[in-house]
């Protein structure tokens, strides 16, 4: 799990409902786990002429809602840090869709006196409008990933490609590495995303692995065979940057895989499943 506070955590005292805490990855993968690569949001897409989230609001309305929401959230949850990414109208007059930190969708009025969490359903067309919007937010532009900040491994001819956001102390990340080791003709770009809250030594270990002369070997030896990396002096490294990148994409678990067509999948996948996804999700 990435090191950030989710909106649900702010609301637990008010909602008085149990919240499942995810670990650093989950043994059940989520095929449609998604996140946005940019702060901008593309226009929503209508399906079967269903009602959709409308246009982006004008600048004045955007500022009013953003300011009110930030003020009210700070007042209610004093430690919250809210980043409003976009605001759109909805089929409900006076109710707006707001995309906030971590690509979370909430609904609010113009004064932000109330917020709603959950799915907005179009009963007439049997469409889950919130799910559609999450799909709009989903695509990651693989070509824009900073591959120079990733550990690169080429297996066989390397024709199939994927990226993985991984924690060096995540048990499910290690299990995924065992599956990757069985797949040929694959290029893997690993972005180091340690979770210090769960694994206090993970960030230091990630830096040590990056600073090895043969960092790919150091990574695979540690993840697949449990061989500790040699102690070396710290070097200029991208670990903090790649941790922030995972946060920006809204990744809430490791491992999270990104495929060239922009699809992301969180959690452990076995070899046969992973090979099928590699076939389906190249460009």
Which CATH number belongs to the domain containing residue 250 in this structure? Answer: 3.40.30.10
Residues 131 and 247 in one domain: no
Residues 47 and 166 in one domain: no
d(CA 15, CA 107): 16
Residues 149 and 275 in one domain: yes
Q: For residue 253, what are the domain limits? A: 142-280
Given 93, 112, 136, which residue is the final one in a domain? 136
Residues 92 and 168 in one domain: no
pLDDT tens for each residue of the chain, 283 residues long: 433 445 655 554 444 333 322 334 443 344 343 333 332 323 333 334 445 567 888 899 999 999 998 888 888 877 666 788 889 999 888 999 998 877 788 999 999 999 998 889 889 888 888 888 876 776 789 999 999 999 999 999 999 999 999 999 999 999 999 999 999 999 999 999 998 888 899 999 999 999 999 999 999 999 999 999 999 999 999 999 999 999 888 787 899 999 999 988 889 999 999 999 999 999 8
Residues 55 and 108 in one domain: yes
Does the residue 150 lie in any domain? yes
The reported pLDDT for the residue numbered 29 is 41
Does the residue 27 lie in any domain? no
Closest by CA position to 24, among listed 175, 135, 161: 175
Does the residue 28 lie in any domain? no
Q: What tokens does 53 get?
A: 């989230």
State how beta strands 151-155 and 264-266 pair. Answer: unpaired
Residues 75 and 131 in one domain: yes
Q: Are 260 and 165 in contact (CB under 8 A)?
A: no
The reported pLDDT for the residue numbered 51 is 54
Residues 146 and 276 in one domain: yes
d(CA 155, CA 137): 31
Structurally, the chain folds into a number of domains equal to 2
d(CA 199, CA 169): 6
Given 108, 136, 164, which residue is the final one in a domain? 136
Does the residue 249 lie in any domain? yes
Does the residue 268 lie in any domain? yes
Does the residue 151 lie in any domain? yes
Closest by CA position to 166, among listed 144, 188, 146: 188
Mutual angle of helices 171-180 and 271-280, in 10-degree steps: 70
The predicted model scores a pTM of 0.66
Residues 117 and 242 in one domain: no
Residues 126 and 160 in one domain: no
Does the residue 12 lie in any domain? no
Residues 56 and 129 in one domain: yes
Does the residue 33 lie in any domain? no
The reported pLDDT for the residue numbered 168 is 97
b or e along 107-122 (b: 16 or more beta carbons within 10 Å of the residue's beta carbon)? bbbeebeebeeeebeb
The reported pLDDT for the residue numbered 279 is 95
Question: What's the angle, vertex CA 31, arms to CA 206 and CA 282, rounded to 5?
Answer: 80
Residues 163 and 250 in one domain: yes
Residues 147 and 276 in one domain: yes
Given 107, 136, 165, which residue is the final one in a domain? 136
The reported pLDDT for the residue numbered 41 is 29
């Amino acid at each position: 799990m990435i090191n950030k506070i989710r909106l649900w955590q702010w609301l637990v005292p008010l909602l008085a409902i149990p919240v499942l805490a995810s670990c650093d990855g989950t043994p059940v993968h989520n095929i449609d786990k998604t996140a946005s690569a940019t702060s901008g949001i593309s226009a929503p897409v209508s399906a079967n002429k269903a009602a959709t989230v409308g246009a982006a609001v004008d600048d004045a309305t955007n500022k009013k809602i953003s300011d009110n929401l930030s003020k009210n959230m700070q007042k209610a949850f004093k430690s919250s840090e809210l980043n409003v990414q976009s605001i759109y109208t909805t089929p409900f007059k006076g109710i707006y869709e707001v995309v906030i930190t971590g690509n979370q969708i909430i609904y609010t009025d113009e004064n932000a006196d109330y917020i709603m969490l959950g799915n907005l359903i179009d009963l007439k067309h049997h469409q889950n409008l919130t799910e559609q919007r999450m799909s709009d937010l989903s695509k990651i532009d693989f070509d824009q990933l900073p591959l120079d900040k990733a550990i690169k491994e080429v297996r066989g001819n390397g024709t199939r490609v994927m990226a993985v956001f991984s924690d060096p102390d995540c048990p499910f990340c290690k299990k995924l590495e065992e599956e990757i080791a069985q797949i040929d003709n694959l290029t893997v770009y690993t972005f180091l995303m340690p979770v210090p809250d769960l694994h206090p030594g993970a960030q230091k270990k990630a830096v040590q692995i990056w600073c090895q002369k043969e960092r790919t070997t150091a990574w695979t030896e540690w993840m697949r065979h449990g061989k500790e990396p040699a102690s070396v002096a710290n070097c200029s490294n991208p670990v903090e940057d790649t941790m922030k990148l995972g946060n920006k994409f809204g990744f809430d678990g490791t491992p999270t895989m990104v495929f060239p067509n922009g699809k992301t999948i969180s959690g452990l996948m076995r070899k046969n499943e992973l090979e099928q996804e590699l076939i389906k999700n190249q460009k």
